Amino acid sequence: MNARARWRPVALAWAALMALLLLTLGLAYLPLGRLNLVAALAIAAAKAALVVVVFMHPRRGPSALRVAAVVGVATLSLLFGLSSLDFGTRHAEPAAAQVPKQLPPLRQPGPGPRPER
Amino acid sequence: MAAVLPARPTPEAAPQDHEVGLLGMWIFLVTELLFFGGLFLAYAVARAHAPEAFALAGAHTHVVLGTINTALLLTASALVAGAVSAGEADRASRAVPWLLGLAAALGVAFLAVKGAEYVSEWHEHLVPGPDFALRDVGGAQLFFVLYWTMTALHGVHVAVGVAVLALFARGTHRLSAWATPRRVEVAGLYWHFVDLVWIVLYPLLYLMGRHP
């Protein structure tokens, strides 16, 4: 296999990644409502898939490697799935985000005996 | 009864060594995935509770610098993939150290851009605390807590990746015995993972709330 044939998939994947980067940047400036987030995440997933499949060669190596990768993704899905069930079905009591402020000192300076403990 | 011990395998003569190296790195990367996964979950939950605040706060990040950094990391990943492929064809290929060195340089450029961004955000009072610029927007601090935590954690990974790439660039340049193409491939996996994390961080941190 000559150098050109070897680097071709890498070069094509790089070009596709750059195109997807520009696409996701452009889409972010269009008012699409909820689709903005969906498109951004879908493009991120496509970019990630390109990097994994073309650059990381998951099909090479022992099958235990693919099992490890799938177990990792499955565990992450479990984490997201069960947590979403919890947060999604719970009535949200929106706590006002606390504004940081400087509290007055607890002990006032001045003369006099120290208070007994 | 004399025990027959197998000869100690050399790095080149032991394909199973390579498999162990690859498998070990993939398992490590899975733990890294779950490490970052907790933060991504925190982001998802916080964003679900304060979508407007996240859109407003997200529009304060530096989208040009973030996009440049994404391009830098994607390119560096392609260079590492090219180095792995060149090393497999010819172990002594001069392209390997150059591609790895260039990828490490792009990693340093990423960190420089990120540093400039941090300095600018510090002056814009985008660090959560008493002087936070968007203190009136409930939930905006959450966005920036996650922004700083995730980018800083990712930045540490980039720094480690740069060190690993530079080490292998040096090793392959000198044709050191330890810098085998197989180990370059295993090291490259780590760099690709750092790239993967940024691919997801980029839309979450830089592309929120950009449209009118």
Q: Tell me, what's the ipTM?
A: 0.88
Which residue does chain A place closest to B139, by CA atoms? Answer: A97
Q: What is the nearest CA distance from A67 to chain B, expressed in angstroms?
A: 10
- A100-to-A5, A115, B128, B133, B140 alpha-carbon distances in Å: 59, 29, 9, 12, 13
End-to-end CA distance of chain B: 83
pLDDT score of B1 = 47
CA distances from A77 to A84, B27, B143, B149 (A): 10, 17, 22, 22
The type of residue at B63 is V
Q: Which residues does A92 contact at the CB level (< 8 Å), separation at least 6?
A: B49
User: Percent of chain A at pLDDT above 90?
Assistant: 56
What pLDDT is attached to residue B22?
Answer: 92
Q: Which helix (H) or strand (E) holds A35?
A: helix A35-50
How many beta-carbon contacts under 8 Å exist across A and B?
Answer: 139
Alpha helices in B50-94 (DSSP H): 51-58, 63-89
What single-letter amino acid sits at A7? Answer: W
For residue A114, what is the DSSP state?
A: P
- Confidence at residue B7, expressed as pLDDT on a 0 to 100 scale: 58
- Contact state of B49 with A13 under an 8 Å Cβ cutoff: no
Among B122, B190, B112, smallest CA distance to B157 is for B190
Q: CB-hemisphere CA count at 13 Å for B46?
A: 23
Answer yes or no: do B22 and A60 touch at CB < 8 A. Answer: yes
Chain B 187-206, CB below 8 Å of chain A: which residues? Answer: 188-189, 192, 195-196, 199-200, 202-204
This prediction's pTM:
0.86
**pLDDT tens for residues B164-198?**
999 999 999 999 999 999 999 999 999 999 999 99
Q: How far is residue B114 from each of residues A18, B25, B36, measured CA to CA in Å?
A: 20, 27, 19
HSE of B126, CA atoms in CB hemisphere, 13 A = 20
Backbone CA torsion sign across B15, B20, B21, B26: positive
Kindly report, residue by residue over B66-105, the tens digit of the pLDDT.
999 999 999 999 999 999 999 988 888 899 999 999 999 9
By Cβ distance, the residue of A40, A55, A69 closest to B30 is A69
- Residue from B170, B135, B88, B206 nearest A43 by CA: B206
Among the partner-chain residues B23, B33, B75, the one whose CB lies closest to the CB of A61 is: B23
